[in-house]
Amino acid sequence: MLQYIVSVKDRAAEVFNRPFFVPHRNVAVRDFTDEINRAHADNPLNKHPDDFDLYLLGQFDDSVGSFIREGAPTVLVRGKDVVQTSV
């Protein structure tokens, strides 16, 4: 089964965080959106959404143990674009 490899980039620190695997890109976008909007004193993504973006790095085929990479990392969604305002 192919898994997507994604990572949150901290633009202020100019680093990609530890990558993680998801079954579909939309799952990663949903989880990232939830974390951006999770208000908590210890949540830097919520405090500084402009500094964080979610990137697709490639895929992992768990049936053969191989990585698939097609070019440079690509932005899936920007933190500032998924901030939910309260109504």
Q: How many residues does the chain have?
A: 87
User: What CA–CA distance (Å, rounded) separates 23 from 1?
Assistant: 8
User: Is 25 domain-assigned?
Assistant: yes
pLDDT in tens, 1-15: 999 999 999 999 999
User: Is 15 domain-assigned?
Assistant: yes
User: Is 84 domain-assigned?
Assistant: no
Residue-level pLDDT at 42: 95
User: Is 49 domain-assigned?
Assistant: yes
User: What CA–CA distance (Å, rounded) separates 60 from 4?
Assistant: 6
Q: Which domain holds residue 12?
A: 2-67
Tally the domains of the chain. 1
Residue-level pLDDT at 87: 57
User: Is 60 domain-assigned?
Assistant: yes
User: Is 76 domain-assigned?
Assistant: no
pLDDT in tens, 30-82: 999 999 999 999 999 999 999 999 999 999 999 999 999 989 999 999 999 99
User: Is 53 domain-assigned?
Assistant: yes
Average pLDDT, the chain: 96
pTM over the 0.75 mark: yes
